[in-house]
C-alpha cells in the first residue's frame, strides 16, 4: 500500500530574511529554510540528532508550506530501519548550518522513500547566500560557530567588511537561527500532566484510552510523599514507548476551577482511574501497593496482552530472535584457487579490471576493516561468470558471494537492486535438474545471509510489496526442504527459521509499541504457504537437527499471531499433534 510523503517547510528567521535580505545582500531571500519529512504519521528531522514527533508539534509551529514529494511503497519497519542506520551519521556534533543540516537529511530521506530530491531553492540556499558580498563577510562568523565550510573558497580577498552594528545584528540572527535549527523540540504531551481546571481534565478523558488521576493539594503532607512515586510510576510505564498508553494527571483540588462535587472528592490524596472516559476504580490514601495494582490493572484492561502471554511458553519465548547467518568464510586460498581452475578449464580470461575486482574481493574478506571493495565491479563480474560457467562450476564464486554479503558495505549495495540475488535463487528450481550439492548449498547460504541486513531481507524478500522477490525465496525454500541431501535440507530449515524470526521480531515491536511494523500488514497467505511446506517436510524428516529448526519456525509462526490467522486452523486440519507424535 502506498504511503504519502510530505515535506514540511519552516522559516528559521521568522520572516526576517524576507524583510532584510534585499538591503543586506542585494538579493531577495524569502526564508532561512528548515525542513522535515512527514511519513507514516511522524515528522522526522535533523537537529540534536535525528528526531521524530507528531506532525506540526515542534517549536516551529505550523509549516509555512507543505510540499507533496510523492508516495513510498516501503513498509514502515524498513523506513525506521533506514532512519536508525543514519543516526551515527546525523549526530549533533556534525551539524553545520551551511554544509550538513536539516535539509541534507530531508533530501537523503526523500531520495530513499521516493527517489526524489527536495526543491533546489532549499538545498541551494547556502551557495546563493555565500555568492553575495554580505554572505562572504559573514562566512568567518558562521565558520567560527560550526567549523570550516566546504563552500568556503579559503580566501576573503576583496570582501567588504560589515559595520560593527551590522555584525552584532548578524551574530544575533545567526545565533537565533542555529539554536532554532538544532533544537526544534517537540511540544507533544508528556505522560504526566499537572492541571487545575476540571474542563482540561475532561478533555484528557476523550483523548486518551487510560487515565490515572491523583487529586492532591499543596497543604497535604501524605500527598507530598506519594506524588513523586505516582509521577515516577507513570513515567516508567513509558520507557522506550513512542506513544502514551496511560496518562497521569495531577489535579490541584485547591484551584477555584476544580469541581469537588463532580468527582466526589472528600479527602486527599485520592486516586481515580478511567478507561475510555468511564471511571473503573478509586481509592484514597498514600498506599503505594494499591496504586501500583490499580495502574497495572488499568493498563491490562486498556491493552490486554496477547493470549499467548497468559501461558508459560518458555521454549518459544526464550528462543533468540537472531537469524542464522553463515559468516565464516571458507579457506580463501582454496576457494579462489578452485574458481581460477574452473576459469582456466573453460578458457575464460579475465581482463585487467576483472582481475583487480576479484583480487580486491579476496583482500576485503581477509581484512574487511582495513580495505574497501568495488561492489559495482563485483556485481558485473558475477554476471559475466554466471553466464560463462556451468551450474556445477559456480559454487566457489557463490561461496565468495555469501561471505561478502554479510558485510554491510556489500549488502547495502544490493538494497537498491537485489535482482542478482533473486536470479541466483532461481537457479535451484528453474532448470531441468537441481544443481549439485555444493552449488545448491551455497545458494541457500546466500539466501540466509540476506537476513544479515534487515532492510535487504524485509524490503525485498519477506515483504508483500509488488516489487518484492519473496516468491523466488519461497520457491527456493519449498524445493530445498525436500532435497535428498540432509545438508541442503538443513540449510533450507535455517532459511525457514530466518523467515520466522523476521516475522517474530516485527510482532514483538508491535507489542512493545515501538512502531507499527510488518505485523500490521501480516500476510496470512504467505504464512500458510510456509507452514504447509514445513509440515510437509516434517512428515518426511528424520534428521533431529533439521526437525528442531522446523519446529522452532512453526512456534514463531504461531507465537503472538493475530487471533484470526489461518495458520492455527491449517495446523489443526493437518493434525500437527499426530505429526509430533510420529
Give Dmax (Cα) for the chain: 96
State the average pLDDT over residues 552-579.
67
Q: What is the dihedral of CA 458, 461, 462, 468, to 10 degrees?
A: 100
Catalytic residue IDs: 34, 102
List the one residue out of 459, 574, 555, 576 whose CA is nearest residue 507.
555
Q: What pLDDT digit, counting tens, does each position of 231-273 carry?
A: 999 988 887 565 788 999 998 888 776 777 888 998 999 999 9
Residue 77's alpha-carbon distances to 132, 409, 474, 506, 520, in angstroms, are: 44, 21, 21, 8, 10
Residue 156 pLDDT: 45
Q: What domains lie within the chain, and their CATH numbers?
A: 3-183 (3.90.1720.30), 192-304 (3.40.30.10), 309-320+454-582 (no CATH)
Residue 518 has pLDDT above 50, yes or no: no
pLDDT category at 357 given cuts 50, 70, 90 is very high
Q: Residue 176: its pLDDT value, please?
A: 57
For 151-210, the pLDDT digits (tens) are 665 444 444 454 545 555 555 555 556 555 555 545 455 788 887 777 778 888 888 899
pLDDT (average), residues 314-324: 66
Q: Which of 464, 565, 551, 523 is nearest to 74 (CA)?
A: 464
Give CB contacts under 8 A, 24+ apart, made by 368-375. 368/407, 372/409, 373/404, 373/409, 373/410, 375/409, 375/410, 375/413
Higher-pLDDT residue of 517, 291: 291
Question: How would you class 489 by CB atoms within 10 Å of its CB: exposed for 0-12, middle for 13-18, buried for 19 or more?
Answer: buried
**Region 338-362: what's the mean pLDDT?**
96
Query: Is the model's pLDDT at 522 over the cut of 70?
Result: no
Amino acid at each position: 500500500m502506498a504511503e504519502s510523503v510530505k515535506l514540511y517547510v519552516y522559516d528559521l528567521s521568522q520572516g526576517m530574511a524576507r524583510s532584510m535580505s534585499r538591503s543586506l545582500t542585494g538579493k531577495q531571500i524569502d526564508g532561512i529554510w528548515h525542513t522535515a519529512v512527514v511519513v507514516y504519521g511522524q515528522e522526522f528531522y535533523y537537529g540534536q540528532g535525528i528526531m521524530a514527533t507528531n506532525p506540526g508539534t515542534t517549536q516551529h509551529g505550523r509549516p509555512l508550506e507543505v510540499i507533496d514529494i510523492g508516495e513510498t511503497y516501503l513498509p514502515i519497519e524498513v523506513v525506521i530501519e533506514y532512519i536508525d542506520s543514519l543516526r551515527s551519521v546525523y549526530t549533533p556534533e556534525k551539524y553545520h548550518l551551511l554544509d550538513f543540516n536539516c535539509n541534507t537529511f530531508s533530501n537523503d530521506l526523500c531520495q530513499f522513500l521516493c527517489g526524489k530530491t527536495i526543491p533546489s531553492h532549499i538545498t541551494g540556499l547556502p551557495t546563493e547566500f555565500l555568492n553575495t558580498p554580505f554572505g562572504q563577510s559573514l562566512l568567518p562568523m558562521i565558520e567560527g560557530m560550526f567549523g570550516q565550510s566546504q563552500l568556503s573558497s579559503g580566501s576573503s580577498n576583496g570582501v567588504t567588511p560589515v559595520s560593527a552594528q551590522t555584525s552584532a545584528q548578524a551574530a544575533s540572527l545567526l545565533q537565533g537561527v542555529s539554536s532554532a535549527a538544532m533544537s526544534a523540540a517537540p511540544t507533544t504531551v508528556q505522560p504526566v500532566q499537572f492541571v487545575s481546571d476540571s474542563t482540561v481534565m475532561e478533555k484528557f478523558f476523550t483523548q486518551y484510552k487510560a487515565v490515572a488521576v491523583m487529586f492532591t493539594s499543596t497543604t497535604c503532607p501524605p500527598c507530598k510523599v506519594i506524588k513523586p512515586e505516582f509521577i515516577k510510576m507513570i513515567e516508567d510505564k513509558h520507557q522506550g514507548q513512542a506513544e502514551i498508553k496511560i496518562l497521569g494527571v495531577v489535579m490541584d483540588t485547591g484551584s477555584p476551577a476544580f469541581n469537588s462535587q463532580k468527582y466526589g472528592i472528600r479527602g486527599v490524596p485520592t486516586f481515580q482511574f478511567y478507561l475510555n472516559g468511564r471511571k473503573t476504580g478509586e481509592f484514597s490514601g498514600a498506599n503505594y501497593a494499591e496504586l501500583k495494582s490499580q495502574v497495572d490493572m488499568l493498563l491490562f484492561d486498556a491493552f490486554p496482552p496477547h493470549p499467548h502471554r497468559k501461558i508459560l511458553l518458555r521454549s518459544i519465548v526464550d528462543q533468540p530472535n537472531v537469524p542464522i547467518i553463515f559468516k565464516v568464510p571458507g579457506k580463501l586460498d582454496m576457494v579462489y584457487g578452485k574458481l581460477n581452475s574452473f576459469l582456466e578449464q573453460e578458457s575464460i580470461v579475465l581482463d585487467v579490471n576483472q582481475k583487480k575486482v576479484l583480487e580486491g574481493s579476496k583482500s576485503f574478506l581477509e581484512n574487511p576493516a582495513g580495505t574497501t571493495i568495488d561492489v559495482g565491479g563485483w556485481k558485473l563480474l558475477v554476471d559475466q561468470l554466471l553466464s560463462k560457467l556451468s551450474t556445477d562450476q559456480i559454487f566457489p564464486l557463490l561461496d565468495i558471494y555469501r561471505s561478502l554479503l554479510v558485510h554491510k558495505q556489500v549488502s547495502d549495495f544490493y538494497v537498491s537492486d537485489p535482482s542478482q540475488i533473486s536470479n541466483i535463487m532461481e537457479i535451484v528450481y528453474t532448470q531441468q535438474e537441481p544443481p549439485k550439492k555444493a552449488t545448491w548449498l551455497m545458494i541457500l547460504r546466500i539466501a540466509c545471509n540476506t537476513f544479515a541486513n534487515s532492510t535487504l531481507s524485509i524490503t525485498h524478500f519477506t515483504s508483500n510489496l509488488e516489487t518484492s522477490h519473496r516468491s523466488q525465496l519461497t520457491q527456493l525454500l519449498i524445493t530445498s526442504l525436500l532435497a535428498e541431501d540432509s545438508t541442503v535440507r538443513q540449510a533450507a530449515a535455517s532459511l525457514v527459521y530466518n523467515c520466522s524470526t523476521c516475522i517474530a521480531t516485527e510482532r514483538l515491536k508491535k507489542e512493545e509499541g515501538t512502531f507499527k511494523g510488518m505485523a500490521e500488514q501480516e500476510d496470512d497467505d504467505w504464512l500458510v504457504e510456509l507452514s504447509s511446506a514445513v509440515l510437509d517436510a516434517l512428515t518426511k524428516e528424520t534428521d533431529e537437527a533439521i526437525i528442531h529448526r522446523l519446529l522452532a519456525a512453526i512456534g514463531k509462526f504461531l507465537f503472538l499471531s493475530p487471533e484470526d490467522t489461518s495458520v492455527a486452523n491449517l495446523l489443526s486440519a493437518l493434525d500437527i499433534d499426530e505429526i509430533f507424535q510420529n
